[in-house]
Amino acid sequence: MLYYQNPFDQPYRVVYRITINTRTHTLTLFRDNNVFRTYPVAVGKSSTPTPRGTFRIINRVVNPGGPFGVRWLGLNVPNGDYGIHGTNNPSSIGKNISNGCIRMYNNNVIELSNLVSIGTVVNII
């Protein structure tokens, strides 16, 4: 007896992607190619700019501590250790002030971390 798999029996998988605009200091989360959330962020200062390009989330750390706030989402940026993370300095959000990472308010990075997975595409423009 042959069995054929019905593609409609498969659970629906939500696909997220992230675009970070360093000029407008925003992180936009897309869900199935539709804007789902937009968050304010801080990015790198002129001497340590946030790298531009397309990357992926490669790791996640809960409560990394210190300046990284309550979450760390590491990116596969060549020649550096960059990520999306919380902050212990909320007044920095909306500014060019980091060493190249993307800072978010802690409550926002918790929400983001709960939605995205390892492998999520991050486009930084």
pLDDT tens per residue, range 51-77: 999 999 999 999 998 999 999 999 999
89, 94, 100, 106 alpha-carbon torsion, rounded to 10°: 40
At residue 63, the 3 state secondary structure works out as coil
Q: Which residue ranges form the domains of the chain, and what is each CATH number? A: 15-124 (2.40.440.10)
Residue 80 pLDDT: 86
**Spatial separation of the C-alpha atoms in residues 44 and 109, rounded to whole Å:** 17
* Contact criterion met (CB below 8 Å) for 97 and 39: no
**Spatial separation of the C-alpha atoms in residues 25 and 65, rounded to whole Å:** 23
Please pick, among 25, 71, 85, 103, the residue that the annotation labels catalytic: 85
Please pick, among 101, 102, 109, 122, the residue that the annotation labels catalytic: 101
Distance in angstroms between the alpha carbons of the first and the last residue of the chain? 54
pTM of the predicted model over 0.95 = no
- 25 is known as an active-site residue: no
